[in-house]
Structure 1
């Protein structure tokens, strides 16, 4: 049976892509941007990265440091605060008005 720690590790956001520079597959994980793993196959790259993340999580836990929670299990409010210059704010408000929508809706459509 999987431990809570290993289940969490499998819920992180992994990516495996070909690296022309390294001539191998490169595995990364979004929650730990400083970690990567190179291998000759996609499956081996992912497997190596899972092991590396398990080790990193164990090290952080032993040291009493915070272990990042997976993006997939985090709670999001749906609110994003963004600071722009007053000029940019005015320009966006004008464009939203020209479209006949609120600034919030206009920005949502841009995103």
Structure 2
């Protein structure tokens, strides 16, 4: 699959500290673009990512894979203190569901 710059995860939000909109890219957390409008922030961060990817290719660096095209197993481990584990196990038993089902339900809300 060919990775395109528009496959990356972009976000635009207001920055009260800077009094401007800020464009961000999840796959490149060190990059940002500040400007006066949300549209310009999105355009700016997309152009910046494109420039960085071009530079990384030229230097034969590993380019981040877009989150949108990664495969996920649906499994991950979360460590909690033993008392939290016990409390969740009790709640799951009282609800008549597995601990996994209870955790999944809580995480999805």
TM range (shorter): 0.7 to 0.9
1:18-37 residue pairs with structure 2 within 5 A? 18-37=14-33
Deviations 1:73-111 (A, max 9, x none): 110000011122333222211111011111110101111
Residue in 2 aligned with 1:60? 56
Give 5+ residue unaligned stretches, structure 1: none
Tell me the TM-score normalized by structure 2. 0.88
Root mean square deviation of aligned Cα: 1.4
Give 5+ residue unaligned stretches, structure 2: none
Helix, strand or coil for the counterpart of 1:52? helix
Shift of 1:20: 2.2
